[in-house]
Structures are given as C-alpha cells and as structure tokens.
Amino acid sequence: MTDAEQHEAPRPARLVLVGPQGSGKGTQAERIAERFRIAAISTGDVFRQNIKDETDLGRQVKSIIDAGDLVSDALTFEVVRDRLTQPDAATGFLLDGFPRNLGQLGLLDTYLDEREAPLTAVLELGVPRAVSMDRLMRRAFEQGRTDDTEEAIANRLSIYERETAPILEVYRDHGLVDSIDGVGSLDEVTERIFSALAARGIVPAAV
C-alpha cells in the first residue's frame, strides 16, 4: 500500500439529518456542523433569516405564512438552494428539516446530481414515539407553550410518520442511511453519529 493510499482524503460531509420532533436533531446538527466545519442548514432558520433580511424569497415566504398557507415544496426548495450556493456550504453541509417529503427529495436529488455533488450519508435519528411525546410535552411545559397540547404534538408526529419517514426508504435503497439510536445522553448520541460517519470514511479534514 502506498503512502497516498494510507492517507486518503476523507469523503465530503454532504448530509441529511432526519428524525421526529423531540429526537434532538437541532442540538446534534450543531455538533456535527462544528466538528466537520460545514454549514448546518435548518429550513426554519433559513426562512426566518430571509424574512428578516427582506430578500425576495423572504417576502414571498412571509406573504404565504401571513395568509396562513403552507410554503410550497418548490418555494421551500428555492430557499434551500439559495442557501446551498453560499460559500460556507461549498465544502459540505448538513440539511435539517429538508427534504421533508418525497417531492422535496426529488428536487434536492436533481439539483445535487446536476452539480455532481450527491449526498454522502443520511442520518436517521430514531426515538420511540413515547419518548418524543415525553420530551416535547416536558419542553412545552418548561417554555410555557400552551399551544403545544398532547393532541397537537401527536398530530405533528403523525405528519412526520406519514410524510417524512418514507424518504428514508428511498435513501435506504441507495445505501445512504445510518440509523442512530437517539435515546441516551447528548454525548452518547453524538458519539454514535460520529462513529457511523467515520465508518463511511466521513471524518473531519486535518487542520
């Protein structure tokens, strides 16, 4: 084995993080992004930033939300695509909250294929429904979120199971999915994620 083969460059971290509400995705996304020095792209955060900056996309999104309507898959993708073109996403990214359904998956895959920069892993952060419910109810109580009733939380989890979970089957068929046990301490879950990525040759680049 040559010295070059012994020191192969790590695979790029182009990642999607999938999991139900209450799975701890937000915290783990921050940790992954920090370790790999990549952009953590949360759909909700990108929406809010565009609205705050009063961009053309932000104004479109705001008018839809203000009217009480759902932002279409096409417009959601436009916002995400704009974010992916920014410099900090050039060497890698972590998508949290996108794609949310099969339609968005198709839009993302087409875009990445055109750039010849496909995803390198999809992380499924799994927790039992009862654990998600308990975490979300506790958080609602601690934050005084009276609109987060047990019924409302159960409905959001049902939407995830119906609309988002099916994307995992598509990615699983492509050999991209690593299922991570999301039950345990933050550090334990983080270590499971890093170990799964390392097994794929996705490790932080040397400084």
Active site (catalytic) residues: 25, 100, 139, 145, 156
- Alpha carbons within 13 A on the beta-carbon side of 16: 27
What angle do the packed helices 129-143 and 150-159 form, to 10 degrees? 130
**Is 104 within 8 Å of 71 (Cβ atoms)?**
no
Question: How far is the C-alpha of 141 from the C-alpha of 164, rounded, in Å?
Answer: 26
**Is 148 within 8 Å of 140 (Cβ atoms)?**
yes
Q: Which residues are paired to 96 by β-bridges?
A: 17, 42
Specify the DSSP class assigned to residue 111: H
- Alpha carbons within 13 A on the beta-carbon side of 156: 15
Q: Map 165-196 to HEC letters.
A: HHHHHHHHHCCCEEEEECCCCHHHHHHHHHHH
Question: How far is the C-alpha of 182 from the C-alpha of 25, rounded, in Å?
Answer: 9
Q: Map 37-55 to HEC letters.
A: CCEEEEHHHHHHHHHHHCC
